[in-house]
Structure 1
């Protein structure tokens, strides 16, 4: 990525997301974890009798596939698993400075218990042992499948209904915007870079003023606080094969927040392929969004009863409004990530031209969407 000259050269379809270097002794460590937590015929295995490979994905973790080369047909323990090794979290890890993964473990166990997320076989200080699922990510083809898209939003309703024993704050998004803006404009000459790379939208529209306007729009839309994924996008949604069941993964940034945020995050990629990140965004029509939101409401009524539907704040029109406003928030989220992100997890500098290029594209889409919502009298 550091070698390319512009964001247009960045092909998301042909990249493998790998965080940091693979430790030399990781195979031995993963095998030992399987022996400790799975036991049975894993105890007899050596590094020569297992299959092992690093998996793509996990920007805050490293993921490894481990399997017994000659699996037992009678063993009661899994013969292939995924081992997740924790990395540093980029935000919302301030409550547990001595154990930033404490809330992640609580959440992971709870969603696994109701088959909403991956089954867990082991939890240790530096990671987890998870069930291995043959799966695909939730992308454009899955969006266009009515059965899968309906199932996805029923799963989202179940997630939002969870009562998780963690801190219940809802202003993290404001802190995120403020902190990332401060870091981005403090740590390097971003205004000079914006001029150098001719980022016209960033030059024309004051970012700080837009953040303040967006905060007020969030407050006005009165989205209720629920347990949210916070990174609810296709790459964090698994469609298992061959059964086409949906599991939600990578909840390490999850917490209490505005209900609309998860809707906005998934809807800004709805109707778009993974490679369409640098193309003009068009908000899905209400006829596309309506069955998805109504599936969410129907599942919520199944969980909470008619008291849910009796509340005007849970009406279709209210959730539709929230979803559209939080599409703006989702674009601003990406913009601020690009503005602030000046180095990789390994401490190497990123390609700032590419990052600002991505911020510029998303800022354009933000204002195009803002104009559309103004015309719809949403704002």
Structure 2
């Protein structure tokens, strides 16, 4: 243990990101507890932990496994329409989502209240403007999209947000950007196409939110 702390101290001093020994140990415990797998097989001084700097960030870290424990993500492909038609792939994705949604992550648990209260201003406002008099409006008129010309998309979206809050669905740790490019599929056996694994990546939008947010974002990729 003392040797590991010495190694951590030396790495901290030599690193441009200046990660304290205390923070390195804390980040290591979080990775080991919540990520498991290869992250549990290495020691704290084997992890490459760097402070994320620049922009509006709090205490954010970039963590990497040592080369000897790399998981082979470079052999993955993005989740595709073909994967949607593979029952094995869809079932595995559902299990991964369920596991993610069951995590007890040490962050604020009421972020969904802020997001839903400010959703229109943060995310939908620019879309509304474009729909009323911007690029979306021009495309609807140019292609004579009769359905969109007759309906009020702004009212539809406002109604959907109101209903989402009113349903009172379970609030869980959600990804919030579960599009296909954030789901990696890797075949673990060259001779069996159904022998595969799935990795959900890019958690920078993650927080506690209604569970349906992840379902909605994933299924909208079908459109």
User: Counterpart in 2 of 1:170?
Assistant: 112
Determine helix, strand or coil for the equivalent of 2:35. Answer: helix
Counterpart selection for 2:123 from 180, 186, 197: 180
How far off is 1:249 after superposition? 0.9
Give the alignment's TM-score, normalised by structure 2. 0.60
What is the TM-score normalised by the length of structure 1? 0.37
Q: Do the aligned partners of residues 136 and 218 (structure 1) sit closer, same or farther apart at CA in structure 2, a change above 3 Å counting?
A: same
Distance in 1 (CA, whole Å) between partners of 2:207 and 2:162 is: 22
- The aligned counterpart of 2:155 is 209
Q: How does 1:1-150 map to 2 (within 5 A)?
A: 109=31, 111-113=34-36, 121-126=47-52, 127-130=62-65, 131=70, 132-133=72-73, 134-150=75-91
Q: Give the whole-Å Cα distance in 2 for the aligned partners of 1:204 and 1:194.
A: 14
Runs (4+) off by over 6 Å: none
RMSD between aligned alpha carbons? Answer: 3.5
Distance 2:178 2:137 in 1: 33
> Would the aligned equivalents of 1:135 and 1:240 in 2 still touch at CA under 8 Å?
yes
Question: 2:188 is paired with a residue of what secondary structure?
Answer: coil
SS in 2 for 1:268: helix
2:93 is matched with 152
Identify the structure with the greater helix proportion: 2
Match of 1:264 in 2: 216
Measured after TM superposition, the shift of residue 129 of structure 1 is 2.9
Q: Which residue of 1 aligns with 2:133?
A: 191
Shift of 1:155: 1.3
CA distances 1:101-151 after superposition (whole Å, capped 9, x unpaired): xxxx79x835422579xx993221234435342212222232222222212
The CA deviation at 1:193 is 4.2
| Contact persistence 1:194–1:202 (CA under 8 A) | no
Match of residue 173 from structure 2:
227
**Structure 2 unaligned blocks of 5 or more:** 1-10, 13-26, 53-61, 190-195
CA deviation digits over 1:287-306, x for unaligned, max 9? xxxxxxxxxxxxxxxxxxxx
CA distance 1:147–1:193, shift in 2 (3 Å): closer
Return closer, same or farther for 1:256/1:221 CA change in 2, 3 Å cut-off: same
Evaluate the alpha carbon distance shift between residue 185 and residue 121 of structure 1 in structure 2; reply closer, same or farther with a 3 A threshold: same
1:249–1:217: structure 2 CA closer, same or farther, 3 Å change rule?
same
Structure 1 residues 124 and 161 mapped into 2: Cα distance closer, same or farther (>3 Å)? same
Q: CA deviation at 1:240?
A: 2.4
Q: Choose from 240, 244, 251 the match for 2:186.
A: 240
Residue-pair matches, total:
166
- Kindly report which structure 2 residues correspond to 1:274-285, keeping only aligned pairs within 5 A, or say none: 281=223
Shift in alpha-carbon separation, 1:228–1:185, aligned structure 2, 3 A: closer
